């Protein structure tokens, strides 16, 4: 059994717009994922790429139970996201790091890292502090343990956010465009950490436009288009066979300058 099973999922949003002819607001349905199915195991890194608006980030949010699904089901380690009683365990199983870092501004780095394990996992302060120091060493920020978020660069904040997710011992990390707001130097800092985690065997599902990351650490690449899986291939096959033979893939890679 795969660790994450996405089964025939459909997800839509209600969009409100103003109709000039009737001078009224009207609601229309935007379907982002349509009868979508894919499995993720615990082996390596899967990168989700594709045009904006094709459901990549929505898929991650559905897996983590942050968005409800209209049809189908998602099983995370055997737990259905439709079962509200399982959502806490699902979110502990799949740590998520967002595009916009959400460190608690009133807490320093160490407090940000230790809060969750103490409150949700029952760790003692000593246990949580030891684990936090280990992870801060791993992301190269042990000297920042007393810093507040405004004293950190964007790249440092994202590295802390990754460490905070790892504090909960998740079986998978869901990474949603975590380098999109960073400059090239900060992006390099974060990608280096993700490469190290991949080498350590941490399972990651990453939405990204960073093909450098995809080329270096991805085991599998899923190209999404119009709310469906257009290509699902291992990295080497994607960048050789599909890049040359699939016009849609070639067009997308050319558009992002790859």
Please compute the mean of the pLDDT values over residues 69-98 and round it to a whole number: 94
Higher pLDDT, 6 or 178: 6
- What tokens does 8 get? 């025939």
Given the structure tokens 């709310």, which residue do they identify?
227
Q: Walk me through the domains of the chain, giving residue ranges and CATH numbers.
A: 42-255 (3.40.50.300)
Higher pLDDT, 21 or 12: 12
Asked if 169 and 91 touch (Cβ cutoff 8 Å), the reply is: no
Torsion of CA 189, 190, 191, 197, to 10 degrees: 120
Would you state the pLDDT for residue 1?
Answer: 65
Q: Which of 41-45, 62-66, 169-173, 232-236 has the lowest mean pLDDT?
A: 41-45
Distance separating alpha carbons of residues 55 and 33, to the nearest angstrom: 6
Please compute the mean of the pLDDT values over residues 194-210 and round it to a whole number: 86
Question: Percentage of residues in the chain with pLDDT exceeding 70?
Answer: 99
Distance separating alpha carbons of residues 252 and 114, to the nearest angstrom: 41
Please compute the mean of the pLDDT values over residues 21-25 and round it to a whole number: 84
How confident is the prediction for the chain on average, in pLDDT? 90
Query: Is the pLDDT confidence value at 176 over 90?
Result: yes
| pLDDT bracket for residue 23 (50, 70, 90) | confident
| pLDDT bracket for residue 210 (50, 70, 90) | confident
| pLDDT bracket for residue 24 (50, 70, 90) | confident
Please compute the mean of the pLDDT values over residues 146-167 and round it to a whole number: 92
Exposed/middle/buried for 80, CB within 10 Å: 0-12, 13-18, 19+?
middle
Which segment, 126-130, 152-156, 251-255, is predicted with the most confidence on average? 126-130
Question: In sequence order, which residues have a C-beta less than 8 Å from that of residue 50 and are 6 or more positions away?
Answer: 56, 223, 224, 225, 230, 252
pTM: 0.90
Which stretch of DSSP H or E encloses residue 207? strand 204-207
Query: Is the pLDDT confidence value at 99 over 90?
Result: no
Please compute the mean of the pLDDT values over residues 30-58 and round it to a whole number: 92
Please compute the mean of the pLDDT values over residues 231-251 and round it to a whole number: 91
């Amino acid at each position: 059994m795969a660790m994450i099973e996405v089964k025939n999922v459909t997800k839509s949003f209600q969009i409100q717009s103003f109709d000039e002819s009737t001078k009224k607001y009207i609601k229309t349905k935007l379907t982002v994922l349509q009868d979508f199915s894919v499995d993720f195991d615990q082996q390596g890194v899967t990168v989700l790429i594709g045009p904006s608006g094709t459901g990549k980030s929505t898929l991650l949010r559905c897996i983590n139970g942050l968005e409800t699904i209209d049809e189908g089901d998602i099983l995370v380690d055997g737990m259905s996201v439709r079962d509200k009683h399982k959502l806490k365990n699902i979110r502990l199983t799949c740590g998520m790091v967002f595009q916009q870092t959400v460190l608690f501004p009133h807490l320093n780095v160490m407090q940000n890292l230790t809060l969750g394990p103490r409150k949700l996992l029952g760790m003692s302060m000593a246990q949580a502090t030891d684990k936090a120091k280990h992870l801060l060493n791993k992301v190269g920020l042990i000297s920042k343990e007393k810093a507040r978020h405004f004293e950190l660069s964007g790249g440092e904040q994202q590295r802390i956010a990754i460490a905070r997710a790892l504090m909960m011992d998740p079986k998978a990390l869901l990474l949603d465009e975590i380098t999109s707001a960073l400059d090239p130097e900060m992006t390099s800092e974060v990608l280096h950490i993700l490469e190290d985690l991949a080498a350590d065997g941490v399972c990651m599902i990453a939405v990204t436009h960073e093909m450098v990351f995809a080329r270096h650490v991805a085991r599998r690449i899923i190209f999404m288009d119009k709310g469906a899986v257009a290509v699902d291939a291992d990295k080497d096959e994607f960048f050789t066979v599909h890049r040359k033979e699939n016009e849609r893939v070639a067009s997308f890679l050319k558009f992002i300058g790859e």
